[in-house]
Amino acid sequence: MEGKWRSLQTNSFKLPDLSAIFLPDSLQNSNKTRGKLMSSNAATFNAASDAAGHDKHPPGLYALFGTEMWERFSFYSMLALFTLYLRDPTEGFGWTASEATSLYANYLMFVYASPLIGGFIADRFTGYRKAVMIGGFFFMAGHGLLSIPAVWAVYLALTCLVIGNGFFKPNVSTMVGNLYPEGSHLKDRAYNIFYMGINVGAMLAPIVMEVVRAYFGFHAAFAVAAFGMVISVAILWKFKNIVEDPNALADRQTARANRAAGIVETPAEIEHVDDGGDAAKARNKQSLMDTVPDWKRVAALIVIFLIVIVFWMVFHQNGSTLTYWADDNTAWNVTGTISNAINPMWIIILTFPLVWFWGFLDKRGKEPSTPTKMAFGMLLTGLSFFVLWYAATLGEGKTYTAAEMQGGSFRINERVVNNLKAEGMSAETLEKVMAAKTDEGKNLIDDVKFSPETDKATGVKTEGSDRLIAAIDKVAPGEGSKYKDSILKHAYLFQVSPFWLLLAYGILSLGELMLSPMGLSLVSKVAPIRMRGLMMGGWFVATAIGNKLTMIGIYWSIWYQSKFFIVLGCMALFMAVVLALLLKPLKKAMPGV
């Protein structure tokens, strides 16, 4: 068995049939399609392996890449549509925004907390691969139930999805680490590649769902999400024999037996072991780790979990306040949906260069430890919000004109006009106001007392908004007051170059790559073998708490936008400093990582 497995990792190794990863069985019979797909995907994955240096990743990594990519496609497809579905009066249930948001928030809380239980069950009872399969079937059931137009089906679907994520998410991540021998230096890079699969699925989901929903409706879109999960489970089943490394499994069983028997080398003994190759280095690293009591390793991971809560709180502003800023304050048509695709796009662009960079440093003996990478990731997260802070200051405190008399006509800010049209104000009303001549204009606005208004969120002063509202009211009684909030909102808006948004997302995404997949890798390296699934679940609980704390976004409409960005940036930088100060004691608790 050992010789057979090692032969898989030689330079003559052939990639598994990746058409099974990316296409359903019905499409695999096309030789033309298969050939094109194999050539492109093989090149992609070989590039990833080459980027890691001369070492080759085991074939199971690519199977798990595809499994997770399609699962995340399914997961994010549901998130993209869920609240819209609940609020839709035709296909959905006509819920209010607050009702839909409340259920959505509760779902997210439970779906990210459930991996703690799912990881524990996998550790103790089912094993990881079986747990992932169970989770996949619950996911399929959940998405299928959402295609039934009934409230009871929604609640039953959410229950299935929470259970499915609990079984699936921590254990597929654990399986990636279990492909490698204990102490392997390839784990960090493997998790970077695996993480790219997550983001491919996350990027495709909202785009595909928007198209399917527009042409076929919500229920068809949920059915597509369920089909994505079918592909995910089919991949895992087809490649079930290669998603575990027999050598790595034997290493873990030996380590567990040695620890149970009290056979643990001392650090002094380990230092005298021949360091003549990668395998020896991996054994030495794991032997060092085995000298640390389990409770210290668990405590060190809990410290990491507490620190990354702040990262997730800051990072997941991309689903709320950063989306608002992209919608309102960038000088091109960046919709909220498109702006949400910027982050996964950056992840896909940056993954291979970063994997190559870690391999480059490793060959020179200069690759930083995993906790050090995470500290840099937190630092970059803070810097990305400093970029947003600077961009927000560019327009704050300035004065903008909503409407004014110019050349005998009443001129209205073009952005205000376009928005009023979009919100349903009649073109006839707008034409009457904008075409007002001097005499008529005096009748419309002369008796309106001018009083500049200041937006408390930006400090922007607006002139003429009160005159515009009064003028519209006189042409069409009640119309100006009806659209007052819209007039004020769009008169206050200042817009900056989209370069700032793209730059901030690029830095934030690089920080994410240095922190999130590294956290998964760290759990795989440090968690005691008997608790690996449970501790992977703990990582996702930290994510859940961070998601809940994104409620800090309520200050978006209270503070200046620049203040909001600088506060979050400083919080991330503070935690980066805390993590940097803790590196020395953390390295003692998790040596060799």
For 323-332, write each residue's pLDDT tens digit: 777 777 776 6
The rounded distance, in Å, linking the Cα atoms of 72 and 80 is 12
pLDDT value of position 273: 43
d(CA 497, CA 572): 25
Return all residues near 52 (Cβ < 8 A) that are at least 6 apart: 186, 189, 355, 356, 358, 359
Q: Which of 28-37, 372-381, 404-413 is the least confident region? A: 28-37
Token pair for residue 578?
């805390």
Q: Which of 102-116, 152-166, 354-368, 477-491 has the lowest mean pLDDT?
A: 477-491
Give the contacts of 299 (CB within 8 A, at least 6 positions apart). Answer: 589
| Residue 337, C-beta contacts closer than 8 angstroms, at least 6 positions apart | 80, 206, 210
For residue 39, is pLDDT > 50? no
How many of the other CB atoms lie within 10 Å of CB of 437?
10
pLDDT mean over 516-538: 92
Task: Give the C-alpha separation, 190 to 169, whole Å.
Answer: 17
Contact 517, 366 (CB under 8 A): no
Check residue 339 and give its pLDDT: 66
What tokens appear for 190 in the block? 């493997």
Q: What is the mean pLDDT of residues 263-287?
A: 48
Domains of the chain: 2-238 (1.20.1250.20), 246-291 (no CATH), 294-394+496-589 (1.20.1250.20), 399-492 (no CATH)
Q: What is the mean pLDDT of the chain?
A: 78
Distance CA 465, CA 441 (A): 15
CA distance 504 to 381: 9
407: left (phi over 0), alpha (psi -120 to 50) or beta: left
Question: In the structure, what pLDDT confidence band is assigned to residue 555 with cuts at 50, 70 and 90?
Answer: confident
- Please choose, from the candidates 102, 84, 104, the residue with its C-alpha nearest in 3D space to the C-alpha of residue 93: 84
Are the C-beta atoms of residues 244 and 129 closer than 8 Å to each other?
A: yes
Q: Of residues 250 and 572, which shows the higher confidence score?
A: 572
Give residue 560's pLDDT. 81
**What 3-state class would DSSP assign to 494?**
coil
CA–CA dist 289, 590 (Å, integer) = 6
DSSP annotation string for 215-257: HH-HHHHHHHHHHHHHHHHHHHHHTTTTSS-HHHHHHHHHHHH
Rounded Cα gap, residues 563 and 346, in angstroms: 26
Task: Return d(Cα 586, Cα 498) in angstroms, integer.
Answer: 40
CB 45 within 8 A of CB 16: no
Tens digit of each residue's pLDDT (9 = 90 or more) over 304-324: 999 999 999 999 888 778 877
DSSP H helical ranges for 122-185: 128-145, 151-178
Is a pLDDT exceeding 60 seen at residue 268? no
Segment of 410-424, 468-482, 522-536 carrying the highest mean pLDDT: 522-536
Percentage of the chain with pLDDT > 90?
A: 41
Average pLDDT over residues 69-85: 90
Residue with tokens 């005096």: 442
Indicate the burial class of 104 (C-beta count within 10 angstroms; 0-12, 13-18, 19 or more): middle
* DSSP code for 123: I
pLDDT of residue 103 exceeding 80, the answer is: yes
432 residue type, one letter: K
Q: How far is CA 5 from CA 17, 52, 240, 280, in A?
A: 18, 20, 14, 18
Whole-number Cα distances in Å, 474 to 404, 442, 467, 470: 16, 12, 11, 6
Q: Within 13 Å and on the Cβ side, how many CA atoms surround 93?
A: 17
Q: CA–CA separation, 218 vs 371, rounded Å?
A: 43
Tell me what the mean pLDDT of segment 351-363 comes to: 92
Q: Which residue has the tokens 């769902």?
A: 209
Label the pairing between strands 461-463 and 399-401.
Answer: parallel
Contact 290, 266 (CB under 8 A): no
At 14, the pLDDT band (50, 70, 90 cuts) reads very low
Closest by alpha carbon to 399, among 446, 448, 458?
A: 458
Q: What backbone phi and psi angles, to 5 degrees, belong to 17?
A: -65, 95
